[in-house]
């Protein structure tokens, strides 16, 4: 590779993913730049930003560019929202036969009902036969994403296999394997570098959003048309758990569209477009929350701990007190958060747009939330950063509260975020807290105090804004709406505070204060 190209890449390292940076640079040269950038510097950033330059807008994809396999799988788009631009690759190419074989034989229960390698602790031994694949020359993003998903599945299965076996016997996780062998560690780190991800199982890039396949590719992403690609347990509750995330995120294209519309309408001082955008966001959140409810019937709360062990992280988890050594990569132990819905982008998008993020208390729990925001595809992070910055700049909340009926719509949206987080708190009580006293969640947050940190903040915001409304300006429907919202919020605040008080006694208060960022 010539020094000339390296220099250009170095200077214009942050490349636009949609069009080549200059019309004089051809697509072929552009792709060459991207390859060099990945090779030399790790992952690509994907917005049109340059070092320290904050863009005024964000390049939301108008077309998924399905044939462009040199740009990342996850790029926020009007058609795909926060889902990948293409359906995830189901099977690895023949070259990776041994890796594919392990993944197909791994789950505790195989599709044919027989026990897989994880059933009786046979994976550790089987991994010894895995060749150390060289992936240096792979640049196809579709394949890189599939390799990332598969190596992270294998890494988590390998590291946590002893914990799962011990948990089945004694309801205690004990210690995980502390060293990741080089035939997994080296290619995993290499792929992660190319994607700009941490080399550990992640929500979007592995477990949830890159792990579905359509039964009929011509039909939409709805539950009845989906199956999993990889799994740890092989039970239907794991399928339900993962795929409900996917079907919720299938509504994200309109979340993205109305987020951009909201920002633009404030900037243009267009009140009726603003109100329309808030109504549409509200409708979208209702669809997302309705889909969320299906979790109860698709994933049995009593089954959750049968696969949860494998999605734990190596950061702030007693199973990895000294982190994990990646053989052939680092002599120093590495620590990463586990897979968590906290890395989904829909709620952070709403929090940022409605300026809730800046209202979160300054405490270690909020630092954990910020840390979670690093664990996601680069382009999602750039989008969320853009929404946060731009909403603060144009002052979405200030614009909403200048008008009583816009305020009602703004509050209706806060109410939908509360509905999401409150149902979610109920999931946490029923799927986790009821069945275990393990003090930290899969992402490494303290199980009793972290979720209420956000939920109580937003409930408090509803009360504060409510006090400022000029009732005489409200339409009769909005008066009823506001009265209902405030009554529901007061009720939830009371129940939540009661829950936290009781649960802090079940889990030692010390364990809930112990926060690692
Ligand atoms: C059985 C169902 C579920 C359970 C038991 C559960 C559990 C949890 C827990 C314990 C956390 C705390 C963070 C951590 O992992 O350390 C969390 C965070 C989160 N999860 Fe889930 N989750 C479930 C389903 C979902 C679904 C379907 C979504 C949809 C995208 C989701 C989105 C989130 C979000 C956005 C957060 C961050 C919450 C916040 O900002 O307040 N979760 N989840």
pLDDT bracket for residue 517 (50, 70, 90): confident
What are the pLDDT digits (tens) for 463-498? 999 999 999 999 999 999 999 999 999 999 999 999
**98-129 b/e (C-beta count within 10 Å ≥ 16 → b):** bbbebbeebbbbeeeeeebbbbeeebbebbee
User: Which residue ranges make up the annotated binding site for heme b?
Assistant: 424
Q: Is residue 59 part of a domain?
A: yes
How far apart CA 388 and CA 77 sit, in angstroms, is: 18
Nearest CA to ligand 1 atom 25: 341
Query: Is 234 within 8 Å of 109 (Cβ atoms)?
Result: yes
Residue 444 in contact with ligand 1 by CB distance below 6 A = yes
Is residue 135 in a domain? no
| CB-CB contact of 386 with 46 (8 Å) | no
Q: Decide: 246 in ligand 1 pocket, CB within 6 A.
A: no
CA-441 nearest atom, ligand 1: 16
- Is residue 313 situated within a structural domain? no
Which residues form the domain of 63?
1-69
Q: What is the pLDDT of residues 503-514, one digit of tens each?
A: 988 887 776 666
- Taking the centre of ligand 1 as the mean of its atom positions, its distance from the CA of residue 340, in whole angstroms, is 6
- Candidate from 211, 317, 424 with most ligand 1 atoms within 8 A of CB, to mutate: 424
Question: What is the model's pLDDT at position 53?
Answer: 53
Instruction: State in Å: Cα 22 to ligand 1 middle.
Output: 42
Which pLDDT score, from 0 to 100, does residue 513 have?
67
pLDDT of residue 19: 29
Number of domains in the chain: 1
Report yes or no on 54 lying in a domain: yes
Which of 227-236, 429-438, 500-509 shows the lowest mean pLDDT across its residues? 500-509
**137 domain residue, yes or no:** no
344 Cα: distance to centroid of ligand 1 (angstroms): 9
CB within 8 Å of 200: residues ≥ 6 apart? 152, 155, 156, 313, 314, 336, 337, 338
Residue 226, domain member (yes or no): no
ipTM exceeds 0.85 = yes
Verify whether ligand 1 is closer than 6 Å to residue 445 (CB atom). Answer: yes
Q: Which two tokens stand for residue 249?
A: 């995120």
Report yes or no on 30 lying in a domain. Answer: yes
Whether residue 130 contacts residue 99, with contact meaning beta carbons closer than 8 Å, is answered with: yes
246 is a domain residue: no
Per residue in 368-417, pLDDT (tens digit) is 999 999 999 999 999 999 999 999 999 999 999 999 999 999 999 999 99
Q: HEC states along 186-203?
A: HHHHHHHHHHCCCCCCCH
């Amino acid at each position: 590779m010539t020094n000339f190209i390296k220099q250009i890449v170095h200077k214009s390292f942050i490349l636009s993913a949609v069009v080549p940076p200059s019309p004089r640079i051809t697509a072929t040269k552009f792709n060459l730049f991207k390859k060099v950038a990945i090779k030399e510097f790790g992952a690509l950033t994907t917005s049109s930003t340059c070092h320290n330059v904050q863009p005024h807008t964000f390049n939301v994809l108008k077309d998924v560019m399905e044939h462009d396999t040199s740009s990342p799988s996850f790029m926020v788009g009007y058609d795909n929202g926060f889902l990948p631009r293409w359906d995830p690759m189901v099977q690895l190419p023949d070259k990776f036969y041994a890796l594919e074989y392990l993944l197909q034989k791994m789950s505790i229960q195989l599709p044919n009902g027989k026990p897989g390698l994880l059933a009786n602790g046979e994976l550790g031994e089987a991994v010894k036969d895995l060749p150390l694949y060289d992936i240096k020359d792979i640049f196809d993003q579709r394949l890189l994403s599939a390799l990332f998903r598969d190596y992270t599945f294998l890494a988590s299965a390998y590291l946590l296999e002893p914990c799962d076996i011990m948990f089945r016997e004694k309801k205690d996780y004990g210690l995980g394997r502390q060293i990741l062998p080089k035939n997994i560690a080296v290619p995993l780190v290499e792929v992660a570098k190319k994607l700009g991800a941490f080399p550990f199982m992640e929500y979007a890039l592995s477990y949830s959003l890159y792990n579905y396949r359509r039964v009929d590719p011509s039909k939409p992403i709805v539950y009845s048309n989906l199956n999993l690609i990889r799994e740890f347990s092989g039970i239907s509750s794991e399928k339900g758990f993962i795929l409900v995330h996917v079907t919720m995120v299938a509504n994200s294209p309109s979340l993205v569209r109305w987020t951009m519309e909201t920002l633009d309408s404030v900037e243009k001082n267009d009140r009726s477009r603003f109100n329309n955008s808030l109504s549409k966001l509200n409708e979208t959140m209702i669809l997302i929350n309705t889909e969320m409810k299906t979790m109860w019937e698709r994933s049995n709360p009593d089954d959750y701990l049968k696969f949860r062990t494998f999605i734990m992280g190596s950061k702030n988890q007693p199973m990895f007190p000294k982190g994990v050594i990646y053989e052939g990569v680092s002599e120093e132990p590495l620590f990463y958060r586990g897979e968590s819905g906290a890395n989904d982008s829909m709620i952070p998008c709403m929090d940022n747009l409605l300026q809730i993020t800046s209202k979160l208390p300054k405490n270690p729990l909020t630092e954990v939330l910020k840390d979670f925001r690093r664990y996601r595809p680069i382009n999602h992070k750039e989008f969320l950063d853009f929404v946060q910055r731009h909403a603060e700049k144009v002052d979405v909340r200030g614009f909403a509260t200048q008008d009583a009926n816009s305020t009602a719509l703004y509050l209706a949206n806060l109410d939908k975020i509360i509905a999401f987080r409150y149902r979610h708190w109920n999931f946490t009580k029923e799927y986790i807290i009821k069945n275990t006293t393990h003090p930290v969640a899969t992402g490494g947050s303290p199980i009793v105090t972290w979720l209420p940190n956000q939920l109580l903040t937003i409930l408090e915001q509803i009360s504060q804004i409510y006090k400022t409304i000029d009732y005489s300006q409200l339409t009769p429907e909005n008066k009823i709406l506001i009265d209902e919202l405030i009554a529901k919020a007061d009720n939830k605040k009371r129940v939540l505070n009661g829950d936290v008080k009781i649960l802090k006694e079940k889990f030692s208060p010390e364990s809930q204060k112990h926060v690692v960022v």
